[in-house]
Every structure is written in structure tokens, then in C-alpha cells.
Amino acid sequence: MSSTPDTTALATKAVGITEYGAADVLRPIEVEVPAPGPGQVRVAVRAAGVNPLDHKVRSGALTEVFPVTLPAVLGYEIAGVVEAVGADVTEWQPGDEVFGQVRGGGYAEYALAAADQLVRKPAGVDWTVAAALPVAAETAWRSLDLLGIEPGRTLLVHGAAGGVGTLVLQFARSRGIRVIGTASEANHPYLRELGAVPVVYGEGLAERVRAAAPEGVDRVLDLVGAGVLPLSIELAGGAEHVLTIADWSAASHGVRFTAGDEPTDYLRPALEGALALAAEGGLNLPLHRVLPLAEVAEAQRESERGHVRGKIVLTVG
């Protein structure tokens, strides 16, 4: 089913940037309600997730590897209601409740999404939880796949208490993989609840990891980019056993960096895996903070400060 949208209306709740800088550059801006093209869906956004990528793009730190055209509306994961579809889209129709990833534009009342980057939101899943899942689930699923770690093996995760780490731990546990997770001591009970063995990061980490895993670790996943790659290579017995999503110096260490540009599309398998855990009562993704879209600058400051347990989400519609 298709519809012909009015592209002259303005999205009254869009927040974007007209320049790079600190969180204060995030301001309300006027954007046209987007018209879905071939393979696209327009979604009336109910909630949008906040990720470290957002503040890195906003600051200009990623202009060489993740450029955006200014003015730009950020936000890369949404949950909402399909409002209009492109002429060739048959999977979705107006009124469907969906969630998934977008190529920017999530901090707005309306966003465009590729039809194949959405999944149906179960009635029992809250909008805020749905919006928190796509980036974390896809990244977690992709990381485990690229690491190639098998059941019964041991995985060390740096920065295990954040949104991605939370999903990594749960996907790994469902696959029979033992996880050691680094986090601040305040987050150790949380990691134990997720089935991981917690260790404090910082000086002496190698000794603490060896004490927790005398047989050694088989793979290491770096989610924080805090200079842990040399140590990780040592603990895992080689750079080929280490993966990072956060350290741009990875190549200089012989470590693989993943930014989601692999040819395999991991999003739908990841979201289906997360929903399967939810259906079994085994999905835990705490919301660190839920803020209205108007407070997106504070949401990004909180994300930038780090030590976030779970996800930060914005409510929109």
C-alpha cells in the first residue's frame, strides 16, 4: 500500500546541528516532512535511541570517516508508526508499529527508514525499549559473529555495562559462551545478574583477568576505545583474536575494527534474537535515562560522560 505525503509541511519536533561542536549546537530546526522513495518508509517517531556515535558525529570527531551534510538531524535508531510507504514497498503499510535503524534523522517527529531495516514491534514491548534495541543488538550480534567465538569458550568484554555490552553478554550467554566483563565496581552486581564475571578496569587489569580465567581468554571485544588493545592482544594470544568497535588505532595494532559496513546485514537476525530472548523472559536492557526530545543536548552530555548502564532514549511523539 502506498500513500502520497504532503512534503510541504514542517516537522515541528526536529532537533539538529548547523555546525559541529559541543552539545549546545543541538537546536530545533525546521525540516520538511520526508517523502518516502523506492524501498523507503516514513515513520512517525515515538522514541529514538541515543548512542556514543551521536555525540562523536555532533562534535566533528568523525568527519573523515562518518561525514554528514549540514544542517543535519542525528539519531540512528527509532521506534514508531508507519505513516507512508514508497510505491514498491509491500511489507509495511500505514499503521504498522515498527522499530529499527535509520541513516540519521531520528531526532525528529518523522524519519525515513529503509523498509528492510525495520521489524514489527510486539504489542508488549514499550516504545522506549524498542528504540533502545536496534544499534546495541545489531552491534552485539555482529561483533560475536565476527569474533567467531564458539560455545564453551571465554570472551573478555571491555566496557560491558553499556548498551552494546548488555546485549553482548546476553547473546553470548544464550550461545553458551563464558564472559568476563570490565566495568566500574558499581556495575559489578549488574554484570553478575547478566551472567558475566566482572572485573574492575584500570591498572592491574591483566592480573585480575588471569585470576578470573586461569585457562586464558579466547577472544576480546573492545567497546570503549580506551587504549586496551595491546593488553587485549596479550591476553587473547594474538591480534586476530581481538575486535574493537571504538578504537580507531586498531589497524596499527593489527586488530580488526568494525563499524557496521560489512556486506552481511546483521540487523534483522539481531532484533529477532533479542525479541526471542524477550519472549522467553530473558532480555534485560535497562534504560539509563528517558528524556523528551527537547532535552537531547542533556542526553548527549550524559552519553559523553560515560558510565552509562544500558541505554539513553528520547521520547518524541
Per-residue pLDDT of the chain (317 residues; tens, 9 = 90+): 444 444 445 556 899 999 999 999 999 998 889 899 999 999 999 999 999 999 999 999 989 888 899 999 999 999 999 999 998 999 999 999 999 999 999 999 999 999 999 999 999 899 999 999 999 999 999 999 999 999 999 999 999 999 999 999 999 999 999 999 999 999 999 999 999 999 998 899 999 999 999 999 999 999 999 899 999 999 999 999 999 999 989 999 999 999 988 999 999 999 999 999 998 887 888 899 999 999 999 999 999 987 788 899 999 97
SS3 string, 133-201, reads HHHHHHHHHHHHHHHCCCCCCEEEEECCCEHHHHHHHHHHHHCCCEEEEEECHHHHHHHHHCCCEEEEC
> Taking the model in full, what pTM does it have?
0.91
- β-pair type (311-315, 40-50): antiparallel
* CATH code at 136-257: 3.40.50.720
Q: What is the domain class of 10-121+286-315 according to CATH?
A: alpha beta
Tell me whether domains 10-121+286-315 and 136-257 share a fold: no
The backbone torsions φ and ψ at residue 62, rounded to the nearest 5 degrees and listed phi first, read -115, 20
| CB contact burial 132-156 (16+ within 10 A = b; e otherwise) | bbbbbbbbbbbbbbbbebeeebbbb
Compute and round to an integer the Cα radius of gyration of the chain. Answer: 20
Spans of all domains in the chain: 10-121+286-315, 136-257
* Beta strands, E only, the chain: 10-11, 15-16, 27-28, 31-32, 40-50, 77-85, 97-101, 110-114, 118-120, 154-158, 178-183, 197-200, 219-222, 242-244, 256-257, 287-292, 311-315
d(CA 82, CA 186): 40
